[in-house]
Amino acid sequence: MVEVQSITFPEGITLQCGEKVAPLRVAHQTYGTLSPKRDNVIVICHAFTGDQYVASPHPVTGKPGWWSRMVGPGLPIDTDRFFVICTNVLGGCMGTTGPTSERAGTGRPWGKDFPPVTMHDIVAAQVKLIDHFGIDRLFAVIGGSMGGMQVLTWATDYPDRVFAAMPIATSPFQSAQNIAFNEVSRQAIYGDPNWHGGDYQAHGVIPARGLAVARMVGHITYLSEEALTRKFGREIRPGTVPSSGDPLSALPFGGMFQVESYLRYQGSNFTRRFDAHSYLTISRAMDFFDLGSEHEGNLSAAFRGVKTRFCVVSFSSDWLFPTSRSRTLVRAINQAGGHVSFVEIDSDRGHDAFLLEEPDFDRTIRGFLNGMARQAGLSAGECDNAV
Amino acid sequence: MVEVQSITFPEGITLQCGEKVAPLRVAHQTYGTLSPKRDNVIVICHAFTGDQYVASPHPVTGKPGWWSRMVGPGLPIDTDRFFVICTNVLGGCMGTTGPTSERAGTGRPWGKDFPPVTMHDIVAAQVKLIDHFGIDRLFAVIGGSMGGMQVLTWATDYPDRVFAAMPIATSPFQSAQNIAFNEVSRQAIYGDPNWHGGDYQAHGVIPARGLAVARMVGHITYLSEEALTRKFGREIRPGTVPSSGDPLSALPFGGMFQVESYLRYQGSNFTRRFDAHSYLTISRAMDFFDLGSEHEGNLSAAFRGVKTRFCVVSFSSDWLFPTSRSRTLVRAINQAGGHVSFVEIDSDRGHDAFLLEEPDFDRTIRGFLNGMARQAGLSAGECDNAV
């Protein structure tokens, strides 16, 4: 049994859709030490299928934390200096209340009856935890992809509580193409023989094939065409082609391309650690996200009066959340008279680049946090000279 | 019962994989009149899920032919002048022998036992039909997407029999990303409850959900991000959102985005006219395609001695078969000392643009065919002045 750090709020949370989820449990991991003034807090928001294990081994897979190269002592997000909190999102399946949690009074999990959540709800759950810790203001909120949607929601919903914000490889709205890919994933799950109209938990099964297909779709969109070509090209997986003895035929009849093998592995591996209803709930929360729509389509209105200092980061080969979306965001913040800097990192690795070794990106994060720390009057960290 | 134009070859065809398919039926449509010298023949090769009904109504859906705006009297591919032949590809499901055809001596369809086919096999089946018609040399071969792969195969496998060739929105090889999307589609089909290990025909069912998901994936890749945004944006399908009475919530809880509705429609519609085994067979034929690999990775060697005049066409926003692939192709033909011109059509509609109203594209086809007709010494058509 994995021990999960969490706080339970018996009163629960009332969601934007009007429904109430109670109790509310918020699972989280923390790194570093909270300063006496409680002014050194960085909230990291995870992406779609991420979790709170940002810099510690994943309890199911045993793999290192998903950002362990970025978060730790002396690293760009320096835990010798900052107190880092990462929560599992509302609707997730790693300890925070979601479809796999027991619905009070029923003895059964929420399952398909878990209500729809939004980025506002996801961040509101995080706010409850921050309040519980007695933290008034965050030094910074940082997140990539869907994590970036949470960063934008934090800064616009709680403008007085966020000093600095880094929305990374993200967008102020979910695009038609993003919705379309999510819809393919959802249909793959609905079409699984183990779906049972959403009641798979009652049948003691999981819609693993559909969930694997969903994950495969995701993986393609996370990588650039160049990265897929460099990683796999048209290589054949060894041992999958029956030797035909025909020297003329170099074709892999019956064989498997490496890229297929990779996707199958990613797909089936994923089903060990992720719940289908959580997948559906969170993908829908992303689809709902559209900051401008809440201000009659005027995105800059969302940033009116927001004093948060933003550093927007995009990656040149990211086609899921392309640089053009970050530019739209930067323009809107500028129009609202806000503080914003913008960096496009040159990388050919696609959306996934924010999780990979990209020295320019590391320098951007380290530099922004150090600069902001000076502005916020935080005591100088040892890493200041490392910029 | 739909009457299908077809020729049956009792001797069948021996495939590249070594297996034999007999008899071989080649279903086709023709338009225009074969000239006495049999020198005015244009073969049009259809794309992945296309068919021979290039300029006549589809017998299942009743919709106009897929290129009826391009092929006909006075149109860019002018049937007052040219004799146009379009065959259903080997492995297809519109009359040419494929998985839905009866396997001789068994009283049952080939189904999952239909052998793997390649572009070479697909074109070899077309050659049998051309031979049957007593046609020595084609004036031109034209095709987009997978049709373009056939065009390239025609010109390199039968260099003396093709005067002019237009590979459109295509590539000399299937990329890792293209294989990856095809693999997602295949896994969606394999995961369908009606798949029955490939024996769905024996069970009297079709894996419709999986096939629909496959089609949805395809549709996303056929459109540019811009086209999806322009067509659908974040519009909600009317009537799908329960009115909550909450004026604060503009969110479509329980509702459906237009782009989702569109994809579901495209997906379910497709299953009425396409067979899952055909889908798998043809998607695999595309994945196998790699002209250079047959010449130790030297693509230009494939074009050595080829006298065919090529006009390569790409579309600027096509991300499935991007312009860079066409440039690779053009460079290889040039290196081999071949004849090639290249046009990139400026369009924001993605891969699908070759099927849509694009005046520059029409002019390119008309101009190339007229110029080639003069070079080939064909009698001047009435359309010559229309360029």
Rounded to a whole number of angstroms, the distance from the CA of A378 to the nearest CA of chain B is 39
Rounded to a whole number of angstroms, the distance from the CA of A367 to the nearest CA of chain B is 34
Catalytic residue among A145, A300, A326, A347: A145
Q: What is the structure's pLDDT at A380? A: 58
**Read out DSSP for A96-140?**
SSSTTSEETTTTEE-GGGSPP--HHHHHHHHHHHHHHTT---EEE
Q: What is the structure's pLDDT at B346? A: 98
Distance CA B97, CA A114 (A): 49
pLDDT in tens, B350-383: 999 999 999 999 999 999 999 999 999 997 554 4
Q: Is A28 a catalytic site residue? A: no
Under an 8 A CB cutoff, do A190 and B209 touch?
A: yes
Q: One-letter amino acid identity for A93?
A: C
In chain A, residues under CATH classification 3.40.50.1820 are 6-182+294-386
Q: Is B268 a catalytic site residue? A: no
Catalytic residue among A171, A318, A326, A347: A318
Tell me which chain B residue has its CA closest to the CA of residue A119: B251
Spell out which residues of chain B touch residue A231, defining contact as CB-CB under 8 Å: 176
Spell out which residues of chain A touch residue B296, defining contact as CB-CB under 8 Å: none
| Domain B6-175+290-379, architecture per CATH | 3-Layer(aba) Sandwich (3.40)
**Read out DSSP for B57-111?**
--TTT-PPPTTTTTEETTSSEETTT-EEEEEPPTT-SSSSSSTTSEETTTTEE-G
As given in the structure block, the two tokens for residue A229 are: 């070509």
Q: How confident is the model at residue A27 (pLDDT cuts 50, 70, 90)?
A: very high
- Length of chain A, please? 387
Distance CA B346, CA B318 (A): 10
- Closest partner residue to A260 (CB to CB) among B179, B234, B290 is B179
As given in the structure block, the two tokens for residue A277 are: 């209803």
Q: In this predicted complex, what is the ipTM?
A: 0.93
Q: What is the structure's pLDDT at A383? A: 45
Rounded to a whole number of angstroms, the distance from the CA of B245 to the nearest CA of chain A is 11
pLDDT in tens, A293-343: 989 899 999 999 999 999 999 999 999 999 999 999 999 999 999 999 999
pLDDT in tens, B167-210: 999 999 999 999 999 999 999 999 999 999 999 999 999 999 99
Task: Write the CATH number of the domain with boundaries A6-182+294-386.
Answer: 3.40.50.1820
pLDDT score of B246 more than 70: no
Under an 8 A CB cutoff, do B217 and A267 touch?
A: no
Catalytic residue among B145, B283, B300, B314: B145
pLDDT in tens, B104-158: 999 999 999 999 999 999 999 999 999 999 999 999 999 999 999 999 999 999 9
Cα-Cα-Cα-Cα dihedral sign, residues B276, B278, B282, B284: positive
pLDDT averaged over every residue in chain A = 94
Q: How confident is the model at residue B247 (pLDDT cuts 50, 70, 90)?
A: very low
Under an 8 A CB cutoff, do A18 and B246 touch?
A: yes
Task: Write the CATH number of the domain with boundaries B183-278.
Answer: 1.10.1740.110
Binding residues of A for substrate: 215, 352
Pick one of 1.10.1740.110, 3.20.20.150, 2.60.40.1180, 1.20.210.10 as the CATH number of A185-278.
1.10.1740.110
Tell me which chain A residue has its CA closest to the CA of residue B218: A184
Catalytic residue among B121, B171, B318, B326: B318
Binding residues of B for substrate: 215, 352
Mutate to test the interface with A, among B246, B259, B266 (most CBs of A within 10 A): B259
CB atoms within 10 A of CB B241: 16
In chain B, residues under CATH classification 1.10.1740.110 are 183-278
Under an 8 A CB cutoff, do B187 and A180 touch?
A: no
Give the residue-averaged pLDDT of B42-62.
96
Q: Is B351 a catalytic site residue? A: yes
How many Cβ pairs within 8 Å bridge chains A and B? 164
Binding residues of A: 215, 352
pLDDT score of A251 more than 90: no
pLDDT in tens, A144-160: 999 999 999 999 999 99
Tell me which chain A residue has its CA closest to the CA of residue B208: A191
Q: At what angle do helices B146-157 and B276-288 cross, to 10 degrees?
A: 50
